[in-house]
Amino acid sequence: MAEMMAQGKQPEVLFWVGCSGSFDDRAKKITKAFVRILNRANISFAVLGTEESCTGDPAKRAGNEFLFQMQAMMNIEVMNAYDVKKIVTACPHCFNTIKNEYPELGGKYEVVHHTQFLKSLLDDGRLTIEGGQFKGKRITFHDPCYLGRANNVYEAPRDLIQKLDAELVEMKRSRANGLCCGAGGAQMFKDAEPGNKEVNIERTEDALETKPDIIAAGCPFCNTMMTDGVKNKEKEATVRVMDVAELIANANDL
């Protein structure tokens, strides 16, 4: 972003990478896949790079409103300085926080999830999707809570999957009834309370019931939880967990 600013250019969209997308080895693959698609579609985009910092979502959900608002205000200062107008992110938690909780603190942007952004590129004819290796594959989509119930985005990721000529199969609990992967509300960063089962196992069972080739996710945390669940069920040889962006990038051999 700083480089573009120095050249007097304003990107079409700021790609908010998020902590997972920046640091987590698995999530970095999603980041790279999404960037490959953006480049293929000739999108002028920027990232904040080292100027990006945690949105504060996990702190807020854990109850630390102070830390959240400090993070929020720092990020808002940076983005307002760059005159950011539109943000795309591959993380539903960043998406929700920036879209819904930043405006009141002075950060007003148009915020879209990467599946919505890709859908809009497709609709505008700036991106074409081919089925490629996913033609006829059974794909089930796991709704991230912070994309689905929290923000009512259910169709964009499904529309994209269907463009792959894949067979989209729904779990018994999907869309507004979708079951959480178990990572939200800062659970990702702690052990679960005592119980008789892990949430991600329960959810992975939902997914495996559909006999999928691929479990599609739209959230780096869901991705981790579902991947762990599939490993727990010893199905990693036959069932892959992939982000919607990875599906599209791979289908187009990017």
Tokens of 38: 């953006």
Do 212 and 238 contact (CB within 8 A), yes or no? no
CB of 215 to another protein, least distance (A): 17
Stretch that binds another protein, among 57-65, 124-132, 154-162, 229-237 (CB under 8 A): 57-65
Q: Considering beta carbons, is residue 49 or 136 the nearer one to another protein? A: 49
Cα–Cα distances (Å) from 84 to 88, 103, 154, 220, in that order, read 11, 13, 26, 24
Smallest gap from residue 6 Cβ to another protein (A): 16
Question: How far apart are the C-alpha atoms of 239 and 232, rounded to whole Å?
Answer: 12
Query: Which of 137, 131, 171 is CA-nearest to residue 154?
Result: 171
81 binds another protein (CB under 8 A): no
Q: Does 17 bind another protein (CB under 8 A)?
A: yes
Quickly count: other Cβ atoms within 10 Å of residue 87's Cβ: 22
Q: Please state the closest distance from residue 46 (CB atom) to another protein, in A.
A: 11
Which residues from 94-113 bind another protein, rule CB under 8 A? 96, 99-101, 104-105
Which of 10, 64, 232, 252 contacts another protein by CB under 8 A?
A: 64
Q: Which residues are within 8 A (CB) of 231 and not within 5 positions of it... i.e. 6 or more apart?
A: none
CA–centroid distance for 37 within its chain: 15
Do 48 and 1 form a contact (C-beta atoms < 8 A)?
Answer: yes
**Residue 131 touches another protein, criterion: CB under 8 A:** no
| 123 near another protein (CB under 8 A) | no
Residue with tokens 């727990």: 232
Helix (H/G/I), strand (E/B), else coil: 172: coil
Write out the two tokens for 204. 């992975």
Question: Which one of the spans 36-44, 187-195, 209-217, 239-247 is the region binding another protein (CB under 8 A)?
Answer: 187-195
Please tell me whether residue 197 binds another protein under the rule CB under 8 A.
yes
Least gap, CB of 243 to another protein (angstroms): 14
**Site of interaction with another protein (CB under 8 A):** 17, 19, 21-24, 28, 31-32, 47, 49-50, 52-54, 56, 58-67, 69-71, 73, 96, 99-101, 104-105, 145-146, 149-152, 176-177, 179-180, 182-199, 202-203
